[in-house]
Chains A and B, each alone.
Chain A
């Protein structure tokens, strides 16, 4: 019988995977209800990561190809629903978010797909999907924005997180960067800062993407400074 005080003592060995199976199971049971140990384990794992970062080694050349070949044949697990409603990227997939019925606005050739399931999964998984992470153009800008487009599917997905509320009557606008100017790609509205939306496009002669905040009726040209930008 291990006393509780002894169990606290195991946090270090646990974080380094240095418990045998019996003790690990016992500690994990304790861990679920002990906030102090949870914090300590997380901190110790960060220490372990620092040790590992100091110990990089280059894998053999061919390993990447074998990994990717196996990954191509491996189905992913379903997201954990219990944590999804609070998860950073999972929110758009949650039942709550669907019930909240994210409002999206349509401009020009843009078609809006309602996210009964994650609407971006198809374009993101497309064989020709190209990913661009847009960079914030000012230091104070919060949030991350990624754009994934598929030429084959004539679609572009916008996946963003941590965006500021655009304000009443306003929405975020995605712009094509063309040789001779810009053109609107569509509007999207984040739900609690997050969005995963798909916009239909029929012309991909674009060299990059830009994001501004516009009136939710749409604009032909940007009326506010660019918040995020990225090239293809």
Chain B
């Protein structure tokens, strides 16, 4: 039976580039498609830049780190495995790691230089906790879940994730034992996970 009019009856839906998900684009990026990567950039840039600005703080260094991250995402795209998670999760994990790496290497460079000059170390990492939680977009679910954490859990997670601190630094900043900082981070994440109904 031939129904030649079928295709004309179903109007082709317009493809809005913004609706092409990061996951769908990734299959093409992994095959070297630069225009798909340009679309992927638009899709991921606010997420990646948000992470980097929070952790790195300095605007021009943030731009530099963001560029490095995107070039790395391009370079390793063929190795992306969709079975192990979403593109957004993969990209945000890499971005956070790179931002933290940069902050830590800058800090150790600064410490070295200061030691060389026999100067008193000015600890640029000692920004108040509040700075790491300001100017966040309010999304009800995340905020509500964060609200249900204890003060220490919230501070420990925020300092670690957005402040780029190790749990030992978190312990020093909050003046709590290292073991406690470690546990607060994990307990807090478990509580957030349960509240948000997270699917990895």
A and B associate in one complex: yes
Chain A residues with a Cβ under 8 A of chain B? 9-13, 15-20, 39, 42-60, 63-64, 66-68, 70-72, 74-80, 83, 86-90, 118, 120-121, 124-125, 129-133, 135, 137, 144, 146, 148, 159, 161, 175, 177, 181-182, 207-210, 212, 219-226, 229-231
Residues of B within 8 A of A146 (CB): 24, 27-28
Bound CA–CA A181/B26 (angstroms): 32
In contact, A229 and B10 (Cβ under 8 angstroms): yes
Interface of B is mostly: helix
Closest B residue to A60 using CB positions: B63
Residues of chain B whose beta carbon lies under 8 Å from any beta carbon of chain A: 1-4, 6-8, 10-15, 20, 24, 26-28, 30-39, 41-42, 45-51, 53-54, 63, 66-67, 70-71, 74-79, 81-83, 85, 88-89, 92-93, 96-97, 100, 136-139, 141-143, 157, 160-162, 164-168, 170, 182-183, 185-190, 192-193, 196, 198-200
Task: List, in ascending order, chain B residues with CB within 8 A of A148's CB.
Answer: 28, 33
Asked whether, in the complex, the Cβ of A226 is within 8 Å of the Cβ of B13, the reply is no
Q: Which residues of A contact B100 (CB under 8 A)?
A: 17
Task: Give B37's nearest chain A residue, CB to CB.
Answer: A71
Q: Can you pick out 19 interface pairs between chain A and chain B where the beta carbons lie within 8 Å of each other?
A: A16-B96, A42-B85, A50-B141, A51-B162, A53-B47, A54-B142, A56-B46, A57-B54, A58-B46, A63-B66, A64-B45, A76-B74, A87-B82, A125-B34, A144-B24, A144-B27, A148-B28, A159-B31, A182-B8
- A56 near B12: Cβ-Cβ < 8 Å: no
User: Contact: A18 with B167, CB < 8 Å?
Assistant: yes
Q: Which residues of A contact B38 (CB under 8 A)?
A: 64, 68
- Extra contacts, 6 of them, besides A19-B167, A58-B46 (Cβ < 8 A), are A51-B142, A52-B51, A53-B88, A68-B37, A210-B12, A231-B13
